Structures are given as C-alpha cells and as structure tokens.
Structure 1
Amino acid sequence: MRLPGSRRGRRLFAGSVLVAFGAVSAVVQFVDQMFPALLSRPGLVTAGSVALCLAWGLARARPQVAVRQEFGRPGMTVVVEEGDLFDQPGHLVVGFTDTFDTLVDDGVVINDDSVQGQLLARRFDGDARRLDAELDAALAGVTAVARESARDKPRGKRDRYPIGTVAVLGSRPRLVFAVAYSRMGNDCVASSGVQDLWQGLDRLWDAVHRHAQLERVTMPLAGAGLARLHDLDEDSLLRLILLSFVVHSWERAVCRELRVVIRPGELGRIDLAEAGAFLASLASGARRHV
C-alpha cells in the first residue's frame, strides 16, 4: 500500500479512514444484532473491515492531477495540470528578472534547473547568444530605468527595466513571453513581491492580447521558484494567477486557452480540488459580470 506523498494527502487519508471505520463499525454492529449468523468468523470480518477502510481512505486521498474550467463568456478554457512545461504546444510564458539576465554557466546568476534555465536549454538549444540577441531586439524600444556599475554588479547584465516589462521572443505559433516580475540583486539573488507579480501579470496579459492571436498559452506557477516570492504559498500564487487572467479576460479577450503547468514536485503542495472550486466561482462571476 502506498500512502499519499503530501502532508495534505496524508491528513485526508487518515481522516477518511477514521470516517470509514466509524461507518463500517456501525454497519457491523447492526448486522451483528439483526443477523448474528452472518458474522460467525470475527477475524475475517475484522480483516475485511480494515481493508475496506484503508481502500476508502486511499481512494479519497488520491491527488488530482488536473482541473479544467470552461468559461462561456468570454469563451475560453483554463486548465491547471501536472506536467512538463516545455512539452506543451503553443505559446509559453517564462519569468525573468528586471535585468533579463541569462548567464547559467556558473549557476550563480541563473540556475540551470530553473524555468529560465530550461528555456535556454530546450527552446534555444543552449545558445545563450541567440537568446540574448532576441532579448536585445525585443527590448530595443524599452528604456532602461537604471544601469548598475561593474563594481556593484560584477556578474551578468546591468541594465534594469521596469517591472512588468515583457519581451516577446520567437515567432508564432511558439512565442515566448519573457516577463520581468522579480528584481535581480547585485548579489545575483532574485526577489519579488505580490505587487511585482500582479504588475507583471497585468502587462503579460496585455502582451498576450496583442501578439498571441487568441492562441493557447502555457505558463508555470509563477513566483513559486527562485523568484523567492515568500509572501504567498503555492495555493495562493495559483489563485492570484487565475484571478488576474480572468479579470483581464472580462475586459477583453486574452487567449482561448490558458494552461498553468505544475511541476510534479510542486503538485503535493497544491490543493487542486480547491483550485477547481475557485475556477468554478470565477466562471459563475464571469456570467454575472457579462
């Protein structure tokens, strides 16, 4: 028997087993009073009752791996699922810092296991020069708000762009929306806050509206990785992303389908049943809004 891996799953398993045990005990007592001959082998009855309770607990605690919500007005679909972000078709959202650093060679500036590090490896075949060239072209019309000195920031890039800046890379149907929602410290430690993330999402949906032509967009659980957004847990981050997307979609269409793809290691810290209920409430609110 394999127990649920997350703390929430283990609590649900234990609670479900206790509830099932109470129900089975009541049934056994009733049958014992009404039909005592049926319970002539108490050892077998006990073993069967325990097995039934454990099976019920496992069934109840089995984690969801996806939720899906259809919105009638505006016509769109939102999916939250476990998977590999870079196996998904369509456009991709990747979080960056305000310096749009890309250096992964020493593992100090950008961690090669991060979403951004995986972008370089899997969408740009490890070619940092090509990624930097596309970033430079996309940011050519954006004015940097500051420039760090080589003494203060010896590693990586030194131009700082406004939080919420979105660099659109590649070409349809596989654009990359590189959105800056965290700040890169001169010590190469990224940090972010709720306001930064909300502002980044706000500018992101505007960019998706302009460039994605309503096509499917996939994104990670923004803020859950090395951006170090400690103000919110994973459930709250997910709800923030979903709320931002739906509210913007009420104003004007962003895309027909948004997929938030959760890394397997993060799924145990997210209650997908609650996420599904939250999406359903947003869909109900969307109907009232329209």
Structure 2
Amino acid sequence: MKKQIKPILRFALGEVYTFLGVFSTLLTIICLIDFSELVPDFAGRIVCVVIVFAVSYGMAVIRVASTKRTVVDLENGREAVLEYGDLFTSGDRIVIPVNDSFDTLVDDVLIAKSSIHGQFVLKYFEGREKELDRIIEKGLERVKVAGRYTNKNGKPLYYPPGTVVPVRVGEKTFYLLALTHFRGNTVEPNMKIYYTAVLTLLEYLNKATAGAPVYIPLLGSGLARINREKENELANLLSILRMSRVKIVGGIHIVLHPDMRGKVNILRYRKNKSIL
C-alpha cells in the first residue's frame, strides 16, 4: 500500500490543473464582483491562492485514488474500458497470453507461477494438465505449425503469433493467445511478434465473441526488454487497438491488477477529461 501512495500523489499533480481551471473560473467571477472588498490585504489574497491550490490538489488525490475504471476513445466510434480488478473474475470471455508452444508446465522456467499463463493453469487445471493439453491439441488441429524449437524445454512445436485456442471452463471461455516466442528457455522480446499477435487476436475476437464483452490483461506485461514501464505497455496496446480499426461489438475491457495503481494512471487515458 505504501508503495502506491507516492505514485498516486504524483499522478494527482496531473489532475490538479483540471480543478484549478474550474476554481480559476470561479475566482474570475468573484473578482468581477469586487475581490478587494472580500479580501482587502495582499497577505489574505496569498492565503486564498494557497487554499485554492490545496483544495485542488486534495480533490485530485481523491479522484486518482478512487477511480477504478475509465473509458478510452479508440476513434471511429470505438471505445475501450480501462479498469483495475481481478482478470479471472472480471467476465466470461477472457484472454490469456501464453507462449507460442502453448506449454502447460508451470515450473518458473518456461511458465512463471506469478504470470497470467501460470495462474490460469494452476487455477483451473492443476493436476489435470494432460486434459488441458488435449484441449489445446484439438484447438490446433487446423493450425499450420510455424516451426520447431531445438533448444527449449517443454513442447517443441510452435505456432504463428496471434494463434488463439479457446478453452471452455464452466460458464467462462478463455482465449489462449500465442504472444511470446522463445530463444532457448528465455522469452525473446520482439515488437513485430507482439503487434502481429494483438492484431490477429482482434480479428479473431471480432468473429468469435458473439457480441459479448471481452476482458484482456495488459498484453506484453512482463516483456521488460520491450517495454520498461507499465505506462509504455498500455500506450502500445492502445495504439494497436486504434490502428486495427476492428470494433468488438460487446466492447473490450483492459483489466489491470490492483497493484498497478501505483504504476499506471488510467485517468491519463480517459475519453472525457472534464470534471463536470
């Protein structure tokens, strides 16, 4: 919690100007009435300015800290929702980024337990990885293999970036997305693969989701050598969504883990920046 406080205070500075604009308008009206009669001495006026700034900053801090979701304009009548929350409980159609071999061995080498890929396997198929493998194999029957790894653990075959395998679990459908490629047992950062994968995913979702909202994580999160900051990762993802021109009828929700509150200020991307 303490780690989130300083960034929230920093993010709030960006919101102060919005509130100051409103207060400045109000002060202008007051000045037209006769501000000198209300606050005759110079020191009193300085105090008023300090109070206005303090109130603006306080309101900005509250706004940043309390905001859980906001709408982002993707242009051409399209929107996305940015929100903090738990991806796995956010909705019924959820995108899970995985490696292009669709591995299921969570060993903190190929798949980290803390990754969304790892959490998905452990949460829904722990002890039943063979069952998940069969579902994946069936989903890949008509997909052309892109190549074969020679120096990587786990499954040797890999598939084109953006390949999607739907996995049904109860009322939820998870879309396993081939997003990362390996060099040895290490993920190879590659922006071309990343862009191709996301654009291909959008085309797939446009046909497969039947008008239902889709929930995706911050795709590319964890590829530290591609993007050093979470803000950059989000900016990249939003730029791809705008570039694609694909409109998901039910809408796209980008779900950020609550721990990202101190790393990503979603108000920065909101569609309507007015506070009124």
Is 1:166 matched with 2:164?
Answer: yes
Aligned amino acid, residue 93 of structure 2 = H
Structure 1 residue ranges, 4+ long, deviating more than 6 angstroms after superposition: 48-52, 70-73
Is 1:100 matched with 2:123?
Answer: no
Is 1:245 matched with 2:241?
Answer: yes
Q: How does 1:19-34 map to 2 (within 5 A)?
A: 34=40
Number of positions where the alignment pairs a residue of Structure 1 with one of Structure 2? 256
Q: Indicate conservation of the 8 Å contact 1:120/1:126, yes or no.
A: no
Gaps of 5+ in 1: 40-45, 281-290
After TM superposition, the score normalised by the length of structure 1 is 0.72
Is 1:88 matched with 2:90?
Answer: yes
Cα distance in 2 between the residues matched to 1:212 and 1:15: 36
Q: Cα RMSD (Å) of the superposition?
A: 3.9
Deviation at 1:236, TM superposition (A): 3.1
Q: How does 1:214-253 map to 2 (within 5 A)?
A: 214-225=211-222, 227-231=223-227, 233-248=229-244, 250=245, 253=247
Deviation at 1:8, TM superposition (A): 6.3
After TM superposition, the score normalised by the length of structure 2 is 0.75
Change (3 A) 1:174 1:66: same
Gaps of 5+ in 2: none
Cα distance in 2 between the residues matched to 1:72 and 1:172: 35
Cα distance in 2 between the residues matched to 1:14 and 1:179: 35
SS at match of 1:256: coil
Q: Which residue of 2 aligns with 1:177?
A: 175
Change (3 A) 1:213 1:171: farther
Q: Indicate conservation of the 8 Å contact 1:99/1:184, yes or no.
A: no
Q: Which residue of 1 aligns with 2:59?
A: 59
Cα distance in 2 between the residues matched to 1:135 and 1:163: 15
Deviation at 1:210, TM superposition (A): 2.2
Q: Indicate conservation of the 8 Å contact 1:217/1:255, yes or no.
A: no
Q: Indicate conservation of the 8 Å contact 2:3/2:262, yes or no.
A: no
SS at match of 2:270: helix
Q: Which residue of 1 aligns with 2:154?
A: 156
Change (3 A) 1:193 1:3: closer
Aligned amino acid, residue 94 of structure 1 = I
SS at match of 1:81: strand
